[in-house]
Structure 1
Amino acid sequence: MLPLQLSYAYLAQLSLAVGALVFLAGLAVLHLVAIVWARLYFYRRLEPLDPEADRLPGVSILKPLVGIDKNVYANLETYFTLQYPRYELLFCLESSEDIVSMVVDTLMEKYPHVDARVFKSPKQHSVNPKVNNMMQGFECAKYDLLLISDSGVRMLPQALADMVRCMGRDVGMVHQMPFTEQRPGFHNVVQSAYFGGTHAKVYITANLVGINCTTGMSCLFRKSILDPLPGGLAYFGRYLAEDFFLSQYVRSRGFRVVLSHYPALQDGSTSVGNLRRRLIRWIKLRSAMIPHVVLLEPFSDCLLSGLMAAWALAFLWPSGVNVYAYFLIHCLAWLLCDYLLMLNCMESPAPFSRLAFVCAWLLCACMSPLNVLCAQCQRGVEWRGRRFRLEWGGVTRELPLEASVAAATTAAAAESADPASQKKVAI
C-alpha cells in the first residue's frame, strides 16, 4: 500500500491529468463548432431590400478618425456606397488640423447625395479619447440606430442591411466579428491566421453561449437604450474597453446581442509588431475586466494545451503513448482546424499559399504565450501616445503627462519605422 502522502500526490496528479484531457476535449469541440457555424452562418445571402425605404429604420454611423493610414480613402469610401436607403455619416475628428479631414472632404464632394457631416471639436467627457471623439456625433445623431465603426474597417455594401435585419425587437446590439481585408504581404497572412483562427474560434463560441465578447470595431445598437445613463455614451468613457461594458449594459437591460453574417474587415496593412502590441493591450484589458478567464487563456492555445495533454497521456499511460508523436499530431490537427475556420471566415478563396499560412500560423502560435507573459509583466496601457492605468473591474485612470512621454516617443518611433501602419492605432 502506498504511503498516505504519496497517495495524495498521486491522486492530485491523476486529477490534473484527467482534467487536462477533458479540457483538451472541450477545446476540440469548440473548434469543430466554430468551423461548422462559420460555414453555415457567414456571408449568408439576403433577400432584396424592401423598395419602400420609409419602412426601413435610419442609421447614424459614427466614424471616429485620428490620423491617416495607407488605405484610409478606400476604407472610408465603402461607407459612401452602402446598399441601404437611409443612413448618415458622422465623421468625428480629434482636431480641426487633422490631415484626414482632407480625405473626408474629398469623399463628400464625390458623393454629394450621401448625408455626411464632419465634427472637429471633441470635448473632454472622460479619460477615453475614442469616446470623447465620438460624443460629437452621438449628440447630433438623427436616428435611434447607431453604428460605431472604426476608421480602419472596410464595410461590404450589403453589411449594413444585414446588421439592421439582425436587429429584432428583442435585440439591442448587433456586432461584427473582427477579421481582416486581404492585402499583399506576409503581415496580412499573419493577421488572417490570427483573426481567422484562434480569435475567431473564441469569438464565435463565446457568442453562441452568451458570453460577452463584443468589440467596438463595428457594432450597431439602439441609442435609446442609453437614455437612463447620465451622459449616454459618455458614461462608458471611464473605461478603455468601452465596447465590452456597453455590450454588458445592453444585456443587463434584457436585450440580446447577436452577431452579423458579415465580419468586420480591418485594414490589413499594419505590421506584425503593431499587431503584437495591440494584442498585448487587449490581454491587459481582459486581465483587468475578467481575470478569472485570463488565467485559462494561455492553456487554450495550441502549444501549451498540447504540452499539457502530452504530460497527461504520459502520466496515465507511461509506456503506451509516444508523447512526441502525439504533440506533433496535436499541432497538425490544430493547424488544420484553424485553416478550415479561416477559410470559412473568407468570402472568397485565400489569396496566399498554404505554406505562407503555415509560417504565419507558427508565428502566431509562438507569439501567443509570449504576449500573455509580456502583458502580465508590463504595467499600464499605452494608447494613442498616452498612458493609462487599469484598475480592477476595468475603470481607467490616465497617468500624468510626464509619465507617458517615454511611451509616446517609443510608439512614435515604432510607427514611423513602419510606413504601412497607421500613425495612431485604434483599439
Structure 2
Amino acid sequence: MTHALSLTLLTLAGIGAFVLGVQLFFVLRRQWSLAQAPAPVSSGRTPAGISILKPLCGVDDDLEANLACFATLGYPAYEVILGVKDARDPAYQVAQAAVARWPQVMRLELQHGEPGLNPKVNQLITLAGVARYDILLISDSNTRVEPDYLHEIARTFEDPDVGCISHPVSGIGEQTLGSLMDNLYQSTTTGAGQIAAKQAADQDIVVGKSMALRREVLEALGGFYSVRNVLAEDFVIGRWVTRGLGKRAVVARAPVYNVSQKKSVSAFFKRYLRWCIIHHSCIPTPLYLAQSLLNPLPYALLGAMLEPSLRALGVVAGVTVAKLIHDVAVFRALRPGQPTPAMTVPAVLLKDVLLFVAWANGLFARSVDWRGNKLRVMAGSRLVPPTSAPVQSLPGAETASGAKSESESDSNELLAG
C-alpha cells in the first residue's frame, strides 16, 4: 500500500514537472513573438473614452507612485475615478492629494450605500454610476502599467466582437521575503497561467486586477449590482461575457504589474489561504485537484518520505530543478528590466510549500476573512454571512426593485455551472 501510494505521488510529481515545461514553452514563445511583432496599428478612428475605476482600501505599498503612473498615460480621453468607502479610510487623504495634483484626470468618489457583501463591488457600483465613458476599466490600487496600456485597450475594442479585455499579471517591487513570494506567484502562476491557457487551449482566464468592459456588456449582465454578493466577480463577469453573450475575452499583450514591497510571509500565506477557498468555489473539485499538479514539489517530497530510495530522491531533485527553472525563467520573462533577487531560489521553494498547505485547506474550508469581513463562500464564490444557512447553488441576484432580471438569471446559471 505504501509503495503504491509513494509511486503514485512520484508519478504525479513527474507529470506536474512536464506540464510546467509546456507552460514555460508557451510563455517564452509568446514573449518572443511579441518582441518580434510590432504592436497593432489603430484604424485611425476617434479614440474611445475610457473610465478607469480604481477602488481603494487602505494604503497599499507605494500607493502614491501607483496612482501617479495612471495620471500620465498620454491617452487623449480618459479619467481615473478613485473610490473609498468613507473618509475614515487611510487611502482617502492619498486620493485627495492625487486629485489635487492631477485634477484634469482624477476624481474622488465616496461609496454610496452598501448594497452587497463584496466590498470591492460595492465601490464599483458607485464608480460605474458616475463614469463618463463607455469603456469601463477596473484597475486595482496596487498596480502599475506600461505607457501604451490604454491605447492597446482602445485598439482591441475596435473589434465589435470583443466584450472584455484582461491583462497578464506580473509582480514587482519586492523588499521582503513575503513580497518576493507574492510577486513570484503573480508572475509564475497567475500571469503564466493566463498566457498558457490562452495559447494552448484558447481558454480565457479573466483576472480583475485589470479588466476592461464595454458598458453595454456590463449592463447586459445587470451591472456590478448583479455580482454584489460574489467574491470572484471577475470570474463571474468573464464567464458571462464569453458564455452568456458569446463575446470574446482577450488577453492583452502587455502585463499589468502588481506592486508588492513589504508583505510579510504571514500576510502572504493568509492571502492565499483565502484565495484557494475562493478558487475552489469557482471550479469543479476534479479540476481543483488537477491544478495542484502545477505545484509538483510537495508531491515528490511526500512520495519520497513515504518510501525513501535513490529513485525517489532522484525524482525530488529533478522536480525541484524543473520548478526552479520554470519560476525563474517566467519571473524574468514577465518583468523585463527588473533584477532577480538573490533570495529567489529559496523563495520559490518556501512559496510552494505554503501554497500546498493553502491548497489543501481550500479543499475543505468555506469561510474567509476579507477586508475585515468574515464571510462564507459558497458555490460560484457566492458570499453569505457566516450565520446564514448553507446554500448549494447560486440563486439569481435581485435588482434594486426586488425583481430578478433575465440577464441576472442567465448569469447565475453560468455561475452555478
Query: Does the TM-score normalized on the shorter chain lie above 0.5?
Result: yes
Per the alignment, residue 296 of structure 1 pairs with: 290
**TM value normalised by structure 2:** 0.81
2:84 alignment partner in structure 1: 93
The change in CA–CA distance for 1:233 and 1:210 in structure 2 (over 3 A counts) is farther
Question: Structure 1 CA distance, aligned partners of 2:7 and 2:365?
Answer: 35
Deviation, structure 1 residue 383: 0.4
Q: Where does residue 338 of structure 1 map in the other structure?
A: 327
Q: CA-to-partner distance for each residue in 1:126-182, whole Å, 9 max, x for gaps? A: 221111111111112221111001111122222222232233322111111222122
Residue 207 of structure 2 is matched in structure 1 by 215
**Deviates most, 271-280 or 243-252:** 271-280
Report the secondary structure of 2:220's partner residue.
coil
Distance between the aligned counterparts of 2:322 and 2:13, measured in 1? 17
1:381 aligns with 2:373: no
TM-score by length of 1: 0.79
State the match for 1:423 in structure 2.
none
Q: Is the 8 A contact 1:173 1:220 kept in 2?
A: yes
Task: For 2:252, give the aligned amino acid.
Answer: S
Partner of 2:349: 362
Structure 1 residue 310 displacement after superposition: 7.7
Within 5 Å, give how 1:66-85 maps onto structure 2.
66-85=57-76
- Residue pairs, 1:314-329, within 5 angstroms: 322-329=311-318
Post-superposition offset of 1:25: 3.5
Indicate the RMSD between aligned Cα atoms, in angstroms. Answer: 3.3
> In the alignment, which residue of structure 2 is the partner of 1:3?
none
| Cα separation, 2, equivalents of 1:15 and 1:369 | 17
Deviates more, 1:191-200 or 1:357-366: 191-200
| Structure 2 letter corresponding to 1:100 | A
Contact 1:187 1:271 in 2 (8 A): yes
Asked whether the 8 Å contact 1:172–1:255 carries over to 2, the reply is: yes
1:154-193 to 2 correspondences below 5 Å: 154-167=144-157, 168-193=159-184
SS of the equivalent of 1:322 reads helix
Q: Check whether the contact 1:280–1:371 (CA below 8 A) recurs between aligned residues.
A: yes
Quick one: distance in 2 between partners of 1:110 and 1:375? 44
1:300-332 deviations in whole A, cap 9, x for unaligned? 313145458989xx9xxx9xx833223212211
Identical counterparts, % of pairs: 24
Unaligned runs of 5+ in 1: 1-5, 402-427
How many residue pairs end up in the alignment? 382
Residues 216 and 242 in structure 1, CA contact (< 8 A), matched pair in contact too: yes
The equivalent residue for 1:120 is 110
Tell me, in whole angstroms, the C-alpha distance in 1 between the residues paired with 2:87 and 2:35: 39
Match of 1:347 in 2: 336
How far apart are 1:250 and its partner, in Å? 0.6
Instruction: State the AA in 1 paired with 2:311.
Output: N
The question of whether the paired residues in 1 share the 8 Å contact of 2:176 and 2:264 is answered with no
Whichever residue aligns with residue 160 of structure 1, its letter is L
- Check 1:109–1:204 CA distance in 2 against 1; reply closer, same or farther (3 A cut): same
Trace 1:299-310 onto structure 2 (pairs within 5 A): 299-306=293-300
Q: Which amino acid aligns with 1:398?
A: P
Report the CA distance between 1:59 and its aligned residue.
Answer: 0.2
Cα–Cα, structure 1 residues 110 and 17, in superposed 2: closer, same or farther, change >3 Å?
closer
Displacement, 1:378?
Answer: 3.8
> 2:385 corresponds to which residue?
398
CA contact (8 A) 1:44 1:261 kept: no
Whether contact under 8 Å (1:154, 1:181) holds in the other structure is no
Cα gap change, 1:15 to 1:157, in 2 (>3 Å): closer
Q: Any stretches of 5+ residues in structure 2 without a counterpart?
A: 389-417
How far apart are residue 260 of structure 1 and its match?
1.7
